[in-house]
């Protein structure tokens, strides 16, 4: 299909295809079951035959969305992954996110590329620290949130208490779409409020296959389930009475959150979530550019890079840039323009990604995620366009809190060491800070969480054959500064100024007391908290 003049038929086609897309992220506190839910959704859409989750992490097989060796070894996601599949004539673009707070930067990048979020809440733990942080990020990005109370097959909190916690701590009004029949730890099924029926679940092959489900009328449910059924109806009724019945506009406006109950490990309540996403989640819509002007979906092709990843294919050492298609039709082989550099980029090698599996894709529509292979010139946040220039908002870097000096263990492998550090910096795995004093032999690695250093060590040893050693630095605070601060703080104890690859100067301090001392003694220096300035382009 060529990029020809937009006829009414062509515009209708693009709008129809955009309307079929549901692009969302699964987010939560670590160990709430994100990767397990991701596989369960793919299982119910019949794009995989057997789920990898079994009775717990100790017995769990690797999931389709976990492809790094560290992910397989530890049973957690440390890198976001993209899955695309069809369900009910709808194209699902599902982005799994890292399962650890140390990789919150990667999660933030993913949230920049989706239209909705599925927030997974552990039934036994409620809204945890990372859950609340993610709620705030979604709120800032105006992302509608579907809340799934997971692990209801295990002992946990009271359902009404969870609803109160959601209301009080997030400000979102719960709107039940399903309600658990049976207390946590005794999961009988759910009351499907939309269809007014009881869905009774029965595990199938220890949860590795789709749960057996039978449907009953309310009268049949009352007879077979007794007080478990009447309690569920009464509880859901109280929530609806005190909040509101399901209102899709309130959901899209970020004022309310649909509620569903599930056990992802047993595949209970997963089909109901898929149906809710198809029926209520927002489709691909015009996305605002850097000036806040929405670019119509029928405009010529545009998109932006939200993730860069190397080493997914060990045989070819490839380099994949994941782009979110924002407008028009992406066609493999088209030559697009990179907004940041003004240079052309040929999209000859374009793939649809399903975890570790990939296949060539010839075209994609707004909402789709496309992997561009051998895209070494692309960076996270880059905008791409055809014909009409556009720049989408930058994806800001987080404030690092941990700092270590990296050195090659083998001086003869310095070229591999330097190339590996540059590659990991390019992917956004780590922030790299440099100075003339330290030189290229000893760059400073800056991280949001300490586990990022473990990923860097693992990737450097296995992907680049350049083992390195790390030396911890005492700094814990970073501020945006200017070149003037470098000589001013050159010999000041507890402080150092380094240059980041995006052109920002970061002033590092041992602690808040060192920062205050510098602010007092050098009131002329620029020291701005990270996140309160405009990110460099």
Binding site as annotated, residues for GTP: 96-100
Q: How far is CA 97 from CA 33, 106, 121, 265, in A?
A: 11, 7, 15, 18
Which residues are known binding-site members?
A: 96-100
Query: Are the C-beta atoms of residues 164 and 127 closer than 8 Å to each other?
Result: no
The answer to whether residues 478 and 508 touch, using CB atoms and an 8 Å cutoff, is yes
**Cα 362-352-304 angle, rounded to 5 deg:** 90
Strand partners, 353: 358
Strands (E), 234-274: 256-261
Q: Count of CB atoms within 10 A of residue 398's CB?
A: 16
Token couple for 224:
């077979």
* Two tokens, residue 341: 């550099």
How far from each other are the two terminal CA atoms of the chain, in whole angstroms?
33
CA dihedral 164, 187, 179, 87 (to 10 degrees): 120
Q: In the beta sheet, which residues pair with residue 352?
A: 359
- Give 82-128 as a 3 state SS string: EEEEEECCEEEEEEECCCCHHHHHHHHHHHCCCCEEEEEEECCCECC
Whether the Cβ atoms of residue 184 and residue 155 lie closer than 8 Å to each other: yes
Compute φ and ψ for 185, nearest 5 degrees: 100, -15
Q: Scanning the structure block, which residue is given the tokens 């880059």?
A: 382
Nearest to 17 by CA among 112, 114, 89: 89
In the block, tokens 């309307």 appear at: 19
* CA–CA distance, 537 with 517 (Å, rounded to integer): 32
Alpha-carbon distance of 64 to 80, in angstroms, equals: 12
Structural contact between residues 216 and 224, judged by C-beta atoms closer than 8 angstroms: yes
Which residues have C-beta within 8 Å of that of residue 376, sequence separation ≥ 6?
A: 319, 426
Distance CA 372, CA 349 (A): 6
C-alpha 505/C-alpha 239 separation (Å) is 51
Q: Residue 168, class by beta-carbon neighbours within 10 Å (0-12 exposed, 13-18 middle, 19+ buried)?
A: exposed
């Amino acid at each position: 299909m060529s990029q020809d003049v937009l006829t009414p038929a062509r515009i209708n086609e693009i709008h129809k295809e955009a309307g079929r897309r549901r692009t969302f992220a699964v987010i939560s506190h670590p160990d709430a079951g994100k990767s397990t839910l991701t596989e369960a959704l793919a299982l119910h859409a019949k794009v995989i035959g057997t789920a990898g989750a079994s009775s717990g992490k100790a017995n769990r097989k690797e999931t389709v969305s976990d492809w790094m060796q560290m992910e397989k070894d530890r049973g957690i996601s440390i890198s976001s992954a993209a899955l695309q599949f069809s369900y009910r004539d709808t194209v699902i673009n599902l982005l799994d996110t890292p399962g650890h707070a140390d990789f919150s930067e990667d999660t933030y990048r993913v949230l920049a590329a989706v239209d909705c979020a599925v927030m997974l809440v552990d039934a036994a733990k409620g809204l945890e620290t990372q859950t609340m942080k993610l709620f705030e990020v979604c709120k800032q990005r105006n992302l509608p949130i579907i809340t799934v109370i997971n692990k209801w097959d295990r002992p946990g909190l009271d359902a009404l208490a969870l609803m109160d916690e959601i209301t009080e701590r997030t400000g979102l009004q719960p709107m039940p779409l399903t309600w658990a029949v049976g207390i946590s730890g005794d999961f009988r099924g759910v009351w499907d409020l939309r269809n007014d029926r009881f869905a009774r679940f029965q595990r199938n092959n220890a949860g590795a296959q789709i749960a057996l489900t039978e449907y009953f009328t309310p009268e049949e449910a009352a007879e077979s389930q007794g007080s478990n059924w009447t309690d569920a109806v009464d509880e859901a009724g109280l929530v609806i009475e005190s909040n509101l019945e399901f209102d899709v506009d309130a959901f899209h406006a970020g004022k309310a959150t649909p509620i569903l109950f599930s056990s992802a490990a047993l595949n209970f309540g997963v089909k109901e979530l898929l149906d809710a996403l198809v029926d209520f989640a927002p489709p691909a819509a015009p996305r605002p550019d850097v000036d806040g002007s929405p670019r119509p979906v029928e405009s010529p092709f545009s998109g932006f890079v939200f993730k860069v990843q190397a080493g997914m294919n060990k045989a070819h050492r490839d380099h994949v840039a994941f782009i979110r298609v924002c407008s028009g039709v992406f066609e493999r082989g088209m030559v697009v323009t990179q907004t940041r550099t003004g240079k052309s980029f040929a999209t000859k090698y374009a793939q649809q990604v399903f975890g570790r599996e990939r296949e060539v894709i010839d075209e994609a529509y707004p909402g789709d995620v496309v992997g561009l292979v051998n895209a070494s010139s692309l960076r996270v946040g880059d905008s791409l366009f055809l014909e009409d220039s556009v720049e989408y908002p930058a994806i800001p870097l987080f404030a690092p809190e941990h700092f270590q000096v990296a050195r090659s263990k083998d001086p003869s492998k310095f070229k591999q060491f330097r190339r590996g550090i540059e590659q990991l910096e390019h992917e956004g795995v780590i922030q790299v800070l440099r100075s003339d004093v330290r030189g290229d032999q000893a760059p400073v690695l800056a991280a949001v969480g300490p586990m990022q250093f473990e990923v860097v060590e693992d990737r450097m040893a296995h992907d680049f054959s350049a083992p390195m050693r790390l030396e911890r630095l005492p700094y814990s605070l970073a501020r945006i500064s200017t070149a003037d601060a470098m000589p001013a703080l050159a010999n000041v104890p507890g402080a150092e100024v380094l240059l980041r690859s995006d052109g920002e100067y970061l002033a590092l301090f041992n602690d808040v007391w060192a920062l205050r001392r510098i602010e007092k003694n050098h009131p002329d220096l620029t020291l701005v908290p990270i996140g309160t300035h405009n990110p460099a382009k």
